[in-house]
Chains A and B, each alone.
Chain A
Amino acid sequence: MIFGLRDVMAVIPEAIVAGAACLLLLVDFLIAKKRKIIVAALSIAAVAAAAFFSLYLVGTDVMWKKVFAGMFVVDGFSTFFKFVLYLATVLSMMLSFHYVKEEDINTGEYYTLMLFSLSGMMIAASASDLLSIYVAVELMSIPVYVLVGFLQKDARSNEAAMKYVILGAFSSGVLLYGISFIYGITGTTELSAVAGALADPSMHTPALSIAIIMLVAGFGFKIAGVPFHMWAPDAYEGAPTPITGFMSAGPKAAACAAVLRVFTEGLQPAYSRWVVIVAIVAVLSLVYGNIVAIAQKNIKRMLAYSSIGHVGYALLGLVAGGTEGASSVMYYMAVYAFMNLGAFSIIIMMRKGEQKGEMIEDYTGLAKTRGGMALLMLIFMFSLAGLPPTAGFIGKFYIFMALIHKGMVGLAVIAVLMSAVGAYFYIRIVMLMYMKDPVNPVETASSRGLYYALAIAAAGTILLGVYPGYFIKLAQMAGGSL
């Protein structure tokens, strides 16, 4: 019950982000509408401070031990994910500078809500108790519901927010119900204690299967895996584009972190029970996401389906299990943050004045008029498709290797086939850009934030592709702590 300095030390990064969000909510009143970029700069500074403390904690004795009576843990796994989350948040904020002016949603709350969401994501990565995981997942989702509906005059945005909030609340209920089953069976919500209780085979009652199904469904909604994906395309299409990028890189990675921790730490003794269910969701996501994406005309919607497909790959890493499986998911999430936010920054660049730039045909002949931009888009599309020498290739390769090492060749074959299907719609955009002549003149936005974000995303996508050794080692070290 009593906690001390060590416990407080462990949550300093989260406290910085949450505290900064509260403060900035008030500071915002002092800043004129034209200068809301100050709020953005202060938010980025807060994330940087949190990142600094996360790095500082790595060497201290706060690491690896559970604090707050088993509710929270700072380990390599959570630290790795936190850096992915910092990256996703900062990049999304940089993408927003231009976009919020273009859409006239230039308010301070936009950035503070992102900070609130980040604090929830960070706790989700570190939470080691089903209850703190639940609270963290809510804290990360609720600000995103608001952000999705930020384009108040756009009916699509309103619809997206409505769908997202209703299905999100519903899925939270399912998740909580599953948690209550786990508590009923094992008498605890703390993950290592759950694992301890489940080590006894007499615990493996039909109720445990119900609990697992509920947990898979609840988390399935949060990460948008098939058949719990139906909110994703509408929410992704309707949301402000930087928020679409943010959702697909931040909250998704954090929910994956929570899923990994729950299933590989808490429910490891019941592996044989959940592996089939998770594998089914993974395969359905792969097949459905990649095939339906082919038919899309709106690029945001296409990337929504593609992100459903990518969740399938991440879940396959979970199915493979063990250190290798976990670290392959971690690596994949880092790669995905870079390449997906890169693709979204190109889409945001196309948004200028009357030009929405959301249709795939808008990209026709882009290479002739905007060579550099087309080249960057080519890199991101190749990476999303999983072609070497980009990061996406290494990420997929690593997951497939984890599967094959576990003898799950069948799943690996399905995944490879589906990534071939996926390559079709990614490369179709590249073909449109390079092989066709431009139809309409394109205008592109120029903003320093966008350029920096693009540079970081492109550098990450290439670096993680050509020089993956160091980062894979990091992921392995971090994943070993699960």
Chain B
Amino acid sequence: MLLNYLPVLLMSGFAAFMAGMILYVSSILSPHHPYREKLTAWECGMEPVGDADTGHFRVHFFIIAILFILFDVETLFLLPWAVVIADKSISLLAYIEMFIFIGVLAVGLVYAWAKGALDWI
């Protein structure tokens, strides 16, 4: 029973291994010449003053973040749907249902777009 989950364990082990390897290999292979100017933030421009959490932040980030989460989560719903739609007995209904769902999403997208939530500046 527990053996059924072996592929999951293997997969997560492989992913951790890959991540570690990529970091390690790139640290060996990449050129490494630190100097003072290069270590300052952004390498160029103004010297940063104060902390980021007390400084000015574009409020716009928050709308982008909310929209991202909304559409991301809703895209997730498409995955289980794509799995079950192969079942002939519910395929037509599921198809129609998903189009209603996407229609509601589209209304939200059009609204956000027309309100200028997607324009930067």
**Chain A contact residues, CB within 8 Å of chain B:** 1-3, 22-23, 25-26, 29
Contact = CB atoms under 8 A, between A and B. Distances in A.
A26 B111 contact: yes
B105 to A, nearest CB: 10
Contacts of A1: 90
Interface residues of B, number: 8
B76 interface: no
Contacts of A26: 107, 110-111, 114
Interface in B88-110: 89-90, 93, 104, 107, 110
A161 to B, nearest CB: 16
Contact of B89 (A2, A25, A29): A2
Given A2-B90, A25-B111, A26-B114, 12 more contacts: A1-B90, A2-B89, A2-B93, A3-B93, A22-B104, A22-B107, A23-B107, A25-B107, A26-B107, A26-B110, A26-B111, A29-B114
Interface string B78-93: 0000000000011001
13 contacts: A1-B90, A2-B89, A2-B90, A2-B93, A3-B93, A23-B107, A25-B107, A25-B111, A26-B107, A26-B110, A26-B111, A26-B114, A29-B114
Interface string B8-49: 000000000000000000000000000000000000000000
A16 to B, nearest CB: 14
B81 to A, nearest CB: 14
A356 B117 CA distance: 34
Nearest to A28: B111
A16 B23 CA distance: 55
B116 to A, nearest CB: 12
The SS class assigned to the B binding surface is helix
A2 B88 CA distance: 12
B3 to A, nearest CB: 27
A26 B89 CA distance: 35
Contacts of A29: 114
Nearest to B103: A22
Contacts of B89: 2
B35 to A, nearest CB: 48
Interface in B42-89: 89
Contacts of B110: 26
A105 to B, nearest CB: 16
Contacts of A2: 89-90, 93
Nearest to A15: B100
Nearest to B111: A25
A1 B94 CA distance: 11
B73 to A, nearest CB: 14
B59 to A, nearest CB: 13
A454 B47 CA distance: 64
B28 to A, nearest CB: 48
Most buried by A among B90, B93, B110, B111: B111
A25 B108 CA distance: 9
A29 B115 CA distance: 9
A235 B93 CA distance: 42
A26 B114 CA distance: 9
Nearest to A22: B107
Contacts of B93: 2-3
B90 to A, nearest CB: 6
Q: Which 3 A-B pairs have the closest CB atoms?
A: A22-B107, A25-B111, A29-B114
A23 B107 CA distance: 8
Contacts of B107: 22-23, 25-26
A3 B89 CA distance: 11
A26 B106 CA distance: 11
Nearest to A21: B107
A342 B62 CA distance: 40
A26 B112 CA distance: 10
A29 B93 CA distance: 32
Contacts of B114: 26, 29
B98 to A, nearest CB: 15
A26 B93 CA distance: 27
A41 to B, nearest CB: 21
Nearest to B110: A26
A29 B107 CA distance: 12
Contacts of B104: 22
A160 to B, nearest CB: 20
A138 to B, nearest CB: 14
A138 B29 CA distance: 53
Contacts of B111: 25-26
A65 B35 CA distance: 76
A107 B62 CA distance: 22
A434 to B, nearest CB: 49
A25 B104 CA distance: 11
A26 B111 CA distance: 7
Contacts of A22: 104, 107
A333 B89 CA distance: 44
Contacts of A25: 107, 111
B43 to A, nearest CB: 40
B104 to A, nearest CB: 6
B99 to A, nearest CB: 14
Nearest to B97: A3
A25 B89 CA distance: 35
A307 B100 CA distance: 39
Nearest to A25: B111
A39 to B, nearest CB: 14
